[in-house]
Amino acid sequence: MKKNIFPAKYPQGGTLKKMPIAKLTIELEISHAQSLKDRRQVVRSMKEKLRHGFNLSIAELDDGIVWNRATLGIVVISNSTSYLTGQMQQIDNAAHRIATGLSTEILDSWSEILDG
């Protein structure tokens, strides 16, 4: 029988607290991209700037075949749903500002909060 190397640690009282997770999806149009290199430069810059400004996880969600489009996924975790709601709004606003600075357009963005 296998032993669980990461046993669950329960706080006093014996139950785990809920841990809401917020996810934000951003679709970018990089109209000036003439190559995969141009696309990667914009995506890398957007990811680095958002990571620098916020405590979040971010990844590219598409396979990068189309040079002038990209989809980014962002995830934030907290113990407060209201905090996550405000954080997602701030991240979305920052992404729009960064996109403008990179001559890139955000075609769509949407967020969802998953109660853990």
Q: What is the pLDDT of residues 50-70, one digit of tens each?
A: 999 999 999 999 887 888 999
Backbone φ and ψ of 106, nearest 5°: -90, 115
Whether the pTM exceeds 0.95: the reply is no
The encoded tokens of residue 101 equal: 């600075």
Residues 6+ apart with CB under 8 A from 91: 24, 50, 54, 56, 74, 76
Instruction: Dump pLDDT digits (tens) for 18-53.
Output: 889 999 999 999 999 999 999 999 999 999 999 999
Q: Where are the beta strands (DSSP E) in the chain?
A: 21-29, 57-60, 69-77, 105-114
